[in-house]
Amino acid sequence: MAHAAPVTRRMIPARTPDVFDQRAHQIARIGIPVALGLVYGYWCAANRRDGGPITGWNLLFGFVTTIVFIVLCLAVATWAPLLKRELHAIVKSGFAGACIGFLYSQTGESVFSSAVLGLVVAAAIFVVFFYRYYTREDAVGNRIR
């Protein structure tokens, strides 16, 4: 029969480590947009080349798309929470809709179908975000904890 190993007081930590401390949030605030930007840039470049060979222009397009996505994502994440809940939801859903529309346009589809898809995605995300902000803020706009 197995027995637990004896534990002395020196082996028990004083408190558990806080893995979600302020430092982890600061790293994630930059790390998440960078990771999403890399995936988005690769996806756009892959859609644009349509299974063809990888060229220098395709790589440049992917890197430029990545940088633009990261900058816009950081800007939305920084300034959108300062707005009222309606504008906050519009800005975030507009960013998501524009990203999806641009991604779809790289497949060679028409501008009209890309714009319609972007608007549909933006409208759906707006409903979700608005509901979330409306149910978690008071009338003045302060978060309810």
Task: Domain count for the chain, please give it.
Answer: 2
pLDDT score, position 7 = 63
Tens of pLDDT, residues 6-39 = 666 665 566 777 778 888 889 999 999 999 999 9
Q: Domain for residue 123, yes or no?
A: yes
Indicate if 35 and 65 belong to the same structural domain. yes
Indicate if 89 and 127 belong to the same structural domain. yes
Q: Domain for residue 8, yes or no?
A: no
Tens of pLDDT, residues 94-110 = 999 999 999 999 999 99
Of 76, 75, 77, 122, which Cα lies nearest the Cα of 98?
122
pTM recorded for the entire structure: 0.81
pLDDT score, position 74 = 97
For residue 143, what are the β-bridge partners? 137
> Chain centroid to CA 18: how far?
24
Q: Domain for residue 66, yes or no?
A: yes
DSSP string, 43-60: HHHHHHHTTS---HHHHH
Q: How far apart are CA 17 and CA 29, in angstroms?
A: 20
More confident residue, 11 or 121: 121
